[in-house]
Copies of this chain bind each other. A is one copy, B any other.
Amino acid sequence: MKLSYRPFELLLKHTFTISGHSRASTPLMLVEIAHEGFIGYGEASMVPYLGESSQTATDFLSKVETAQFKLPFDFAAIHIYLDSIATGNTAIKAAIDIALHDLHGKLTNTPCWQLVQSNSALMPPTSFTIGIDTPQAMREKGIEAKAFDIIKVKLSGEDDKLRIAAIRSVTDVPLYVDVNQGWTDRAVALEMIWWLFEQGVVLLEQPMPKHDVEGNAWITSQSPMPIIGDESVQRLADVEKAIDVYHGINVKLMKSTGMFEAKQMIDKAREHGLKVLIGCMSESSCATLAAAALAPQCDWADIDGPFLTTNNPFVEPAFANGKYILSDEAGLGLKLK
């Protein structure tokens, strides 16, 4: 089994701003694991503020011994091994996990969504994210988003009402809102949530800083719409902490170390009556197709990565009526451009 990798700079269609950060591209590490003539593709998306980089990913990968990846893959054992190399490094661990899932699917001639026991008919629609910008620019992006049934808007606590009004001037589709911990006063936040509810917002992510457990829990108890924990919930051990704090959790492969632990997080959330949104970072078709394979097990999907980039190294995913269409091809169904 041969592991290879290369850094790749994923260019964004629009400079992307969320609370406190702004960027025009995202560094990826593209991973390939080859065996018996098949290649499994994996991807790490390393958004700068989460601590991973091409350098940390290369350091991690240099320590990975592919001899540990015995067939048939025992993903539980593989993840114990990966976590034993170093803590953190969740994105590059995800890249390896995704490549091994793709390879496993190809070796067994099975689509990845079948490997993780998804039912393709239950695919939820995917929202299309519009970053913070001037009202005029957001209006233009709203027009660009017309292929999607749901728009996700990033708010920050500044000009929030103007931004929603700009979107509403071009579309009346349901909206998701992501605050990315941007609100600090819980009473003001709740008043804003009720205003957003009246504007047709149907879901809201991470209203308050992740460490303000009590503030987020209070908002959840008072909110007319589901409140989802994102920054608060990274890995499996965080799921139980979300009970009574959020209505649901945002699962992202780059946080969860890949598909294996994401599936465990979804199952654990279900067990405790938590809803699940599956999300993504700035990603190419590779990591988003891995997320799409799990999406039918989730309530909501926000995996718009490939539609927000100009240099996707893979063919765009099959997509119609606002939803991913899962392919019957083995593995993730990826094709290099």
Q: Chain A interface (Cβ within 8 Å of chain B)?
A: 119-122, 125, 149, 174, 197-198, 200, 202, 220, 223-227, 247, 275, 299, 320-321, 325
Contacts and interface: CB of A to CB of B under 8 A. Distances in A.
A223 B174 contact: no
A202 B200 CA distance: 20
A198 B275 contact: no
As for how many copies of this chain the complex holds, the number is 2
B227 A121 contact: yes
B224 A325 contact: yes
A247 B321 contact: no
Contacts of A119: 247
Contacts of A198: 320-321
Contacts of A220: 121
A200 B247 CA distance: 28
A226 B320 contact: no
A262 B86 CA distance: 50
Contacts of A225: 121
A217 to B, nearest CB: 13
Contacts of A299: 299
Given A174-B149, A198-B320, A320-B198, A121 B325 contact: no
A149 B200 CA distance: 10
Contacts of A122: 226, 247, 275
